[in-house]
Amino acid sequence: MSLLVMTAFLVSGCQIGLATFADELPFDAQRITLDEAESMLGVPLPLPTYLPKGCEIQEVYAVDSGVAILFSDKEIEKELVSFTDASGFRQRYDFQCKMEMDVRWYSEDGIPVRLPGENVEIIAGVRGTIVDEDGRAWNALWWNWRPDPGEPGMFELVLTASKSISRKELVRVAASALY
């Protein structure tokens, strides 16, 4: 293939790659390890064993009563943003990544997620909802999962990725996290 044809192929957008999406972390989000996240929640994390090419865990944060896991193919840069709203002066970190998984654990049964969107089967007996809001550059797959259906306790999970990752691929990543 000539250099000109190869250059045209790459510039045309046909190269394989995942777009990022923008998100934010609270100013008080604390960077932690996976072991610390499991200790904080009191249960093993449901981590995906399958990720799209180029994605790997880059950072993990304790956020409110849950964990945010950021996936990308490179170090994630964050920008400190200061602003004033009805609550007064506040700060947060804006960033971009390929994919994010938010994990919350309820030792008793939580409130099942009920959102408008496309209902999908993640694995047999586990359903979720893909939320695709107009104007957003990302999709989010929300679902609840009980690792031991005979025992109390459940996860609330949200997997968010740019729309360059297909809905089918989102479901495949989610299914790989369920042990």
Quick: pLDDT tens for 52-86: 988 999 999 999 889 999 999 999 999 999 999 99
- Mean pLDDT for all residues in the chain: 86
Q: How far apart are the first and last CA of the chain?
A: 45
**27 occurs within a structural domain:** yes
Single pTM value for the model: 0.84
Q: What is the pLDDT of residues 133-175, one digit of tens each?
A: 777 889 999 999 999 888 889 999 999 999 889 999 999 999 9
Burial class (CB in 10 A: 0-12, 13-18, 19+), 115: exposed
Q: What percent of the chain has pLDDT over 90?
A: 68
User: 130, 131, 142, 138: which is closest to 163 by C-alpha?
Assistant: 138
* Structure tokens that stand for 82 in this block: 């200061």
Per-residue pLDDT at 12: 28
Per-residue pLDDT at 5: 32
**111 occurs within a structural domain:** yes
The arrangement of strands across the sheet holding 88-97 comes to 21-26, 88-97, 78-85
Interval 116-126 mean pLDDT = 92
Per-residue pLDDT at 109: 66
* Structure tokens that stand for 71 in this block: 């996936």
Tally the domains of the chain: 1
Q: Which helix (H) or strand (E) holds 6?
A: helix 3-11
pLDDT > 90? residue 132: no
Burial class (CB in 10 A: 0-12, 13-18, 19+), 13: exposed
CB atoms inside a 10 Å sphere around CB 136 = 14
**58 occurs within a structural domain:** yes
**11 occurs within a structural domain:** no
Residue 162, domain extent: 16-176
**22 occurs within a structural domain:** yes
Per-residue pLDDT at 110: 61
pLDDT confidence bin for 179, thresholds 50/70/90 = confident
pLDDT > 90? residue 11: no
**1 occurs within a structural domain:** no
Per-residue pLDDT at 113: 60
- Tokens 């100013």 correspond to 27
Interval 121-129 mean pLDDT = 94
* Helix, strand, or coil (residue 156): strand
Per-residue pLDDT at 172: 97
Interval 96-106 mean pLDDT = 95
**123 occurs within a structural domain:** yes
